[in-house]
Amino acid sequence: MEKKIHLIDVTNRDGVQTAKLGLSKLEKTMINIYLDQMGVFQSEFGFPVTRHEKNYLLANLKLAEMGVLKNIRLGGWIRAIEEDVETTFKRVPNIKHLNLSISTSDQMIEYKFQGKKSKKSILDDMSKAVKLAHAHGAESVGANAEDASRTDVKYLVEFGLAAKEAGADRMRYCDTLGYDNPFTIYDTARTLAEKVGIPIELHCHGDLGMAVANSMAGAKGVIDGGQEAYVNTTINGIGERAGNADLCCVILALTKSKGFEEQYRLAEDVKLKMISKIAKFASYAFDVPIPINQPGVGSNAFAHASGIHADGVLKDPQNYELYGYEELGRGEPISVETGREITTGQYSGISGFSHVMGKIDVSFKNKTRIEANEILELVRYANVESHKPLVEDELEFIAKYPDIAKMLLTLTPLQWKETNEP
């Protein structure tokens, strides 16, 4: 059977652990919803071992149960140790997909673990953790080799084989420091696919500006080696240091670059048309502007000034554009309020709030005043967390699923001290 490429977006995990940046639990939820609508295979949706993630993770699993999230898999990220697996299933018992991570390079073994772990104990820890995750009911488990690009390939093969033996469904090859180039990652990914014999995931960073190119080359290596490939992305490339492989660029590169799609195809029907919306939302939520020259979604991505180019593109867009802006969901007029503006905030009142909601077609006609007040209260709390006016989709979400919104907004620090919760 033809081997294909799946996308696993890690914005809600790698993206949010970026220095100086973060997302509210509602914003993370909206990202899962948009990724699902877009047709992305999996969202690495958070950290089951981190206490303040618990309600958010449970709420999103509930949204999947309710059919609000339709096809997307929700995967948690934890360390590849039994203790983390135990804690995960105590806190989030119905989680079904996990990636377990452990460092594999000599650098990390020597200078991070500092004698606490050896090459052998790393294999043991990972194998035990993978088995335990399956024993607790995980449906898919990925074993992550952190700093894989600085790890000896022979040891990586050993790691992959041990993971496979323990029942792992995939191995994640992490180019944690962005050290690879397309040539090296192709070779390594192909070797791993051939010698380990399970699907391989590529996790690439942009420290040398090659995250997207490396993801593509790695995916090609995996497929040439006879396995399914999984590529990690983040929206707008947001991620630690110089960031991760950008979701939009990865889709464009896989589907538009010279001859690639003829042999190496995306497994899911990913709707590129949604990329503008999701990019804009992530930019607003992270409060990080999209660079004007960002491929596909930057404001200059389809702008032409020079006489020759403008003339050429007017005669036939294909003269100077590789793909049409409509394909990325661009071209819709956007209206910006230039007169009086009523927004929602943490101190909003019911009349301003009804005005805002009325404008976005959320009718309060069939809601009682008490219900309307409750929704407003949730909007206020959401605003306390996000520090900016909520977007229409967020307001609609709260109005439609107030119980889920309440769960997302409920943070109870130090609770475990009283309740003995894990």
Q: How far is the CB of 169 from Zn ion (least distance, A)?
A: 20
Q: Which CB, 68 or 242, lies closer to Zn ion?
A: 242
Q: How far is the CB of 233 from Zn ion (least distance, A)?
A: 11
Q: How many CA atoms lie within 13 A of 223 on its CB side?
A: 22
CA distances from 166 to 124, 272, 278, 346 (A): 10, 37, 37, 49
For 133, the token pair is 């995750």
d(CA 365, CA 372): 10
d(CA 276, CA 285): 14
For 231, the token pair is 């590529």
Q: Which CB, 15 or 48, lies closer to Zn ion?
A: 15
Helix or strand or coil: residue 102?
strand
Q: Which CB, 99 or 127, lies closer to Zn ion?
A: 99
For 25, the token pair is 């639990």
For 116, the token pair is 């606490």
Residues in the interface with Zn ion (CB under 5 A) total: 1
Residues 184-203 touching Zn ion, rule: CB under 5 A, are none
Are the beta carbons of 176 and 145 closer than 8 angstroms? Answer: no
Q: Tokens 């490939």 appear where?
A: 229
d(CA 93, CA 96): 9
Span near Zn ion by CB under 5 A; candidates 6-14, 106-114, 357-365, 388-396: 6-14
Rounded to a whole number of angstroms, the distance between the first and last alpha carbons of the chain is 44
d(CA 329, CA 341): 27
Q: Which CB, 206 or 296, lies closer to Zn ion?
A: 206
Residues 7-66 touching Zn ion, rule: CB under 5 A, are 14
Q: Which CB, 7 or 58, lies closer to Zn ion?
A: 7
Residue 35's closest CA among 69, 62, 61, 65? 69
Q: How far is the CB of 126 from Zn ion (least distance, A)?
A: 18
Q: Which CB, 20 or 340, lies closer to Zn ion?
A: 20
d(CA 217, CA 195): 18
Q: How far is the CB of 176 from Zn ion (least distance, A)?
A: 6
CA-derived radius of gyration, the chain:
23
Residues 80-99 touching Zn ion, rule: CB under 5 A, are none
The residue at minimum Cβ distance from Zn ion is 14
Q: Which CB, 14 or 228, lies closer to Zn ion?
A: 14
Q: How far is the CB of 208 from Zn ion (least distance, A)?
A: 14
Q: Which CB, 211 or 356, lies closer to Zn ion?
A: 211
Q: How far is the CB of 145 from Zn ion (least distance, A)?
A: 12
d(CA 380, CA 143): 40
Q: How far is the CB of 396 from Zn ion (least distance, A)?
A: 32
Q: How far is the CB of 205 from Zn ion (least distance, A)?
A: 6
Q: Which CB, 132 or 192, lies closer to Zn ion?
A: 192
Which segments of 42-181 does DSSP mark as H helices, in order?
54-66, 82-91, 106-111, 119-135, 153-166
Q: How far is the CB of 232 from Zn ion (least distance, A)?
A: 8
User: Which residues of the chain form contacts with Zn ion (CB under 5 A)?
Assistant: 14
